[in-house]
Amino acid sequence: MSDAIVVINSGSTSVKFAGYQHDSSDSLNLVCRGQVQGIGSHPSFIAKGGDGKPLDAHEWEVGYPLSQDGALKFIFEWLLRHQGDVRVLGVGHRVVLGGMKYEKPVLVTDQVLADLDALCTFEPSHQPYELAVIRTVRNLRPSIPQVACFDTSFHRTMPRIAQLYALPRKYREGNLRHWGYHGISFDYISRQLPRYAPDARRVIVAHLGGGCSLCAMLDGKSVETSMGFSAIEGLPMSTRVGQIDAGILLHLLKADRMDPAAVESLLYQKSGLLGISGVSGDMRELQESRAPEAAEAIDYFAYHCVKFIGAYTAVLGGLDALVFTAGIGENSPLVRAKVCEKLDWLRVKLDRAENDRNSLRISGPGSAVAVLVIPTNEELMIAQHTLMLVAR
């Protein structure tokens, strides 16, 4: 019998999973990953091996009433059928918001669930679905310990003044504060960076994907990040607005008589790259498009990346390394080039050939800043935290 850690990442329309084998050397080896997607519309399942080769696929009919519970049951049944004689040591979950109480990954208890439930009103787009899956696992396999890993935890090292908003004390002493997200990804990158830039103390990491944020790190600790109270603050994203004047929201509510649900839909689902371009929120499609609006969206995106990098360089007092990661960061030479060409004042020198190859180090000779492309691995980070806690 082999031991395993299962990682679950749940959203409103999908449940992603990864299975890691744990051997006697305490290493974790990816054996499979996949997802059920299209929940609520046209659900489908796909699984791949640790080598990326397809293992299995399944598709339900359009409109099939598959719930998240049903998706997770299907995943567990598939794991039991296809992964042989396996003992699951623990299940790790990505949970967006841990609040002030949970600054590190934690074993899930009734009290933990109650505390996290209370935060759902602050993060309604992710938190309820993540907690629902934890409860489903409890019902399916009550004896298996579960671990919650929080996207906000990594940023609790930010100075107090960086975590506050200029609101009256009764608001800012509660949960209306600058949380920051993508912390699991930033945690992983901070642990990888010493292998490639051991002398880099002042680092900015650009997690650029469907959701985007920057993190300023000093000696591997977060001191500032672009996402704030919610996951729509900061950089423009695929369909999320990013930085916006709050007065615009008041105008929409008053002059346009939009209700809160309509404003929420506008900010989360209809803005960002999609809103600017009117073409797509997918950077790959924008780069292939000849529409001037698509080019404008790319330029807008790069401009805001540069603006935040400049501000965070000031916060850090200089810059030793710039790291690109996640879907756009790892795979778009165009975006990286557009950002780096505006950083000549920092003496950033890009090696265009290495950049076009998506190489690990894309800065050229004479660059005062190491520019790196490091693939993130949030699933492995969650698996490592889970193993550490269940082993205790």
Work out the number of other CB atoms within 10 angstroms of the CB of residue 327: 18
Q: How far apart are CA 304 and CA 312, in angstroms?
A: 12
Residue of 151, 299, 351, 356 marked catalytic: 151
Measure the CA angle with vertex 182, ends 78 and 131; round to 5°: 50
> How far is the first Cα of the chain from the last one, in angstroms, to the nearest whole number?
21
- CA nearest to 107, candidates 89, 129, 86, 132: 89
Q: Using CA atoms, how far apart are residues 345 and 285, in angstroms rounded to an integer?
A: 31
Distance, in Å, from the CA atom of 283 to the CA atom of 294, rounded to the nearest integer, reads 9
Helix (H) or strand (E) run with residue 299 in it = helix 292-316
3-state secondary structure of 142: coil
How far is Cα 304 from Cα 285, in angstroms, rounded to an integer? 20
Rounded-to-integer distance, Cα 120 and Cα 12, Å: 13
- Please tell me the distance from the alpha carbon of residue 181 to that of residue 197, in angstroms, as a whole number: 24
Q: Cα angle at 98 between 167 and 391, to 5 degrees?
A: 155
| Contact indicator for 204, 215 with CB cutoff of 8 Å | yes
Q: Active-site residue 151, yes or no?
A: yes
Inter-CA distances, 104 with 55, 157, 275, 348, Å: 34, 11, 36, 35
Alpha carbon distance 334, 338 (integer Å): 6
Give the C-alpha separation, 143 to 87, whole Å.
11
* Rounded Cα–Cα distance for residues 205 and 188 (Å): 11
Report, as residue numbers or ranges, the catalytic residues: 151
